[in-house]
Chains A and B, each alone.
Chain A
Amino acid sequence: MKISMDQLLPGEKATVLQIYAAGDLRQKLLAMGLLPGVEIELIRVAPLGDPLDFKLRDFHLSMRRSEARNIIVERNNHHGWRGRRKRRHWKWQTKL
């Protein structure tokens, strides 16, 4: 299922499919090696819910949700019970 990169949960891995960003941002992402086909993992969310800390090509890259929204990915790993609980918790938090 295609989702935007900001919808991942901590611990989830995904493959980048498309980057809908232009100019400065696009160039920066490409230079960082964030290209279609690369695997990324959401490591953590900053205390106030934004930005996000991703891991790719063995380094950490943080970006705001507004930037991550421009990147379409597909989840790689399926999460079990723990993931589902986290997801519910997450929904509750984003509502706030």
Chain B
Amino acid sequence: MGGEGEGKEGIGSGRQNYRVAIVGNPNCGKTTLFNELTGARQKVGNWPGVTIEKKTGFLNINHNIRAEIIDLPGIYSLSAYSLDERIARDYLLKEKPDAIINIVDASNLERNLFLTTQLLELEIPMVIALNLMDAAEKKNLKIDVDILSSHLHLPVVPVVALKGQGVEATVEAVKEVILGRWHKKNAMVTFGADGEKKLADVQELLKESATRLKLPLRWLAVKLFEGDKEYELLLENKELRDRINEYKEKVVKIVGEDTETIIADYRYGFISGLVKEAVKVTADIRITLSEKIDAVIASRILGIPFFALVIFLMFKISIDFSQPGIDYIDSLFASLIDLINNVLVNLHAPAWISIILVNGVIGGTGTVITFVVPIALVFFFLSFLEDIGYLSRGAFVMDRLMHWMGLPGKAFIPLILGFGCNVPGILATRVMEDEKDRLITILINPFMSCGARLPVYIMIAGAVFAQNVGTVVFSLYAIGIAMAIIVGLVFRKTILKGPSTPFVMELPPYRLPTLKGILMHTWENVWSFIKRAGTLIVAIILLLVIIGYLPVGVTPNSKDSVLGKIGTAIAPVFKPQGFADWKASVALFTGIFAKEAVVGTMAALYGVEEKNSSGNPETKSINGKDTLKERIARDFTPLSAYSFLLFILLYSPCVATMGAIAKEAGLKWAIFSVLFNITVAYIISMAVFQIGTLIQKLL
């Protein structure tokens, strides 16, 4: 995983290389089969220009033949409407793989075969892997594989990918088709005597265009008949377009339906005929186990409580249980830093080396690694929920609430996770299909007050609002949620305008996932976080460390350091907010490292001894609680303290979150998020302070 970056041509081995694409509906076990075929020899990347994951792997068919397996996104058809479908279609038609493995859910043949009927028209050698044969059996369906094979003119292999059954037979069938030993031409759906006549005429018209565009003739004719926007644009000749439209109109007049529906109807007609012959229902099951489960956990009464319980458990376990892991890693890095510092001192290395290397690089890496534990746990849960089929139920249950914000139901989970930590929250948006929805969910996530901000609230509110700490903290959380809703709605109406995507979602039957599949998925996500977000996080931490220690000789992070000077320079900017103090400015600055660093910085700047800089308010409350509290209370009025707290709630996401945004949405959006959130924080806390001052004067 991750490291298998060999070239396409077999290096010096004299092997023949073929490319085989796996295509199928979502939820039909595509990834499981892919994992079975390729094992650990996988490469995860992105499709050019988009954030949709591209997985490739290698399969040694025998010592002469090697196949690169490409896992195409799960799709229901080959139209030009959704991004996933366009990616799959472009790959199949432009890259022209040597063979397709069409994975078909045997327990849901009719709908799965719709895609198959379209794939047939691509004239690419194909094998059908009839997966989930066990689920079909449980549904009392007896499928005659030979009948399917003879009608589709394709090898059809019964498979239970989860148990590894039929995988070898699939490989064997793939070998047959890529070596050209399967002599039958793909079967095609016919569109009635009249339709075929018209289609023949259209094909005659399109002959040259098809050669020029390097597209299968019949496929192009059928797609143009359907009114495919992308292909219409490719036709150079307006006259040609008009003549095809004439044919279309004639058909529409005769049948009284639009061509898209007619063609879909013929495809489903073909499928119905095929299924009737090949599938015997041995006993009728009226309600499946999945339906019985849904009758409870997706019901009107229990739907929301059950979802809340699931989310609560995921939240609790990922955030709370990861604490020992984080502490362990923290202490591990602390001793590592001590060790290296000692070595450096013994070597009489200059101080700046130890600062850059130890505090910057190693400390920064430590910060990245501490995020790995909660991220791994969150992804473990998400993969589990997705594979078992519950994620779509969660979306079903929560959709109404989220729709009100202009977002789909699936946006709920990333937002809730944000309360723990925005990083896994942002990474969790991967379960969302629509790019704009996903971007909005990413951008509003930092307004969900994460766990790291809580100690800051407690310290400052505790110092200034003796009696009402709870109320103040609660109000901050509430304002965060309100801001997320408002900003989300504003983005939806302005920079990320677009019709909210139609919500038509399959509720797949519940299925037992495999631990291997979940672990692989979890590892992919953790690794890509370390690789892509990690580097940015370390770089920014390094920068902040350096300016805190410069110029050489000053007390780190003091007023005389570059950082302190920046604090002093920035401080007047916060006059309208009521906290124009250099210490507050420096704290805000270091808070960009990690929000909890505000606590450590404030403590350090207010001259209170503190053991470690990660800042745990409890440890201080024993030592010098009164001093720190009193000193903070001296510098803040309740109003300026509240304004400061609001600023901390809303301003720039922390370095780790920036890294996550950059990874998921691109650097441009990460910068946008930083600037936008700082602006929002500046305006809101100014408004609160100014209006508050005005009211105080009037009273």
Chain A interface (Cβ within 8 Å of chain B)?
A: 19, 21, 23-33, 35-38, 43-51, 53, 57-64, 67
Contacts and interface: CB of A to CB of B under 8 A. Distances in A.
A33 to B, nearest CB: 5
B693 interface: no
Nearest to A29: B504
Contacts of B695: none
Given A47-B304, A51-B399, A25 B504 contact: yes
Contact of B260 (A26, A33, A64): A26
Contacts, number: 124
Given A26-B260, A31-B114, A50 B506 contact: no
Interface string B60-83: 000000000000000011010110
Interface in B106-164: 108, 110-111, 114-115
A48 B295 CA distance: 15
Contact of A50 (B111, B115, B291, B403): B403
B261 A30 contact: yes
A57 B399 CA distance: 24
Interface string B626-658: 000000000000000000000000000000000
Contacts of A44: 294-295, 298-300
A30 B111 CA distance: 10
B294 A33 contact: no
A46 B175 CA distance: 47
Given A23-B81, A25-B504, A61-B504, A45 B260 contact: no
Nearest to B27: A59
30 contacts: A23-B81, A25-B504, A27-B77, A28-B81, A28-B82, A28-B504, A29-B504, A31-B76, A33-B111, A37-B265, A38-B268, A44-B295, A44-B299, A46-B298, A46-B396, A46-B397, A46-B400, A47-B299, A47-B400, A48-B399, A50-B399, A51-B396, A51-B399, A51-B503, A59-B111, A60-B507, A60-B508, A61-B507, A64-B399, A64-B403
Contact of B300 (A31, A36, A45, A67): A45
Interface in B344-372: none
B303 interface: yes
B252 interface: no
A23 B499 CA distance: 12
B172 interface: no
Contacts of B300: 44-47
A63 B294 contact: no
Contacts of A49: 400
A32 B76 contact: yes
B396 A32 contact: no
B502 to A, nearest CB: 4
B505 interface: yes
B257 interface: yes
A58 B108 contact: yes
Chain A interface, DSSP helix/strand/loop, else mixed: mixed
Interface string B486-517: 00000000000000011111111100000000
A50 to B, nearest CB: 5
Interface string B407-439: 000000000000000000000000000000000
Contacts of A29: 504
Contacts of B82: 24, 28
A21 B509 CA distance: 27
Nearest to B395: A62
B401 interface: yes
B529 to A, nearest CB: 31
B301 interface: yes
Interface in B77-96: 77, 79, 81-82
A94 B396 CA distance: 18
B264 interface: yes
Contacts of B304: 47-48
A11 B396 CA distance: 18
A67 B111 contact: no
Contact of A63 (B115, B397, B503): B503
Nearest to B303: A47
A28 B115 CA distance: 12
A62 B396 CA distance: 7
Contacts of B79: 27, 31
Given A25-B502, A32-B76, A63-B503, A46 B399 contact: yes
B505 A63 contact: yes
B257 to A, nearest CB: 7
Given A24-B82, A45-B300, A53 B502 contact: no
Nearest to A63: B504
Contact of B108 (A21, A35, A59): A59
A24 to B, nearest CB: 5
A87 to B, nearest CB: 16
A60 B503 contact: no
Given A46-B300, A47-B303, A60-B291, 4 more contacts: A21-B502, A28-B81, A32-B76, A53-B298
A53 B397 CA distance: 11
Contact of B265 (A21, A35, A43, A62): A35
Among A33, A47, A53, A62: residue with most chain B CB under 10 A:
A47
A62 B503 contact: yes
Contact of A43 (B261, B291, B301, B502): B291
B26 to A, nearest CB: 12
A32 to B, nearest CB: 6
B502 A24 contact: yes
Contact of A61 (B303, B501, B506, B509): B506
B456 to A, nearest CB: 35
A38 B108 CA distance: 16
Contact of B111 (A19, A53, A57): A57
A68 B578 CA distance: 53
B132 to A, nearest CB: 12
A35 B115 CA distance: 15
Interface string B282-309: 0000000001001100111101100000
A33 B502 contact: no
Closest 9 CB pairs of A and B: A48-B400, A31-B77, A47-B303, A60-B507, A30-B264, A25-B502, A31-B76, A24-B81, A50-B400
B432 to A, nearest CB: 16
A48 B111 CA distance: 29
Nearest to B300: A47
Nearest to A30: B264
Nearest to A64: B503
A63 B503 CA distance: 5
A26 B502 CA distance: 10
A46 B303 contact: yes
Nearest to A45: B300
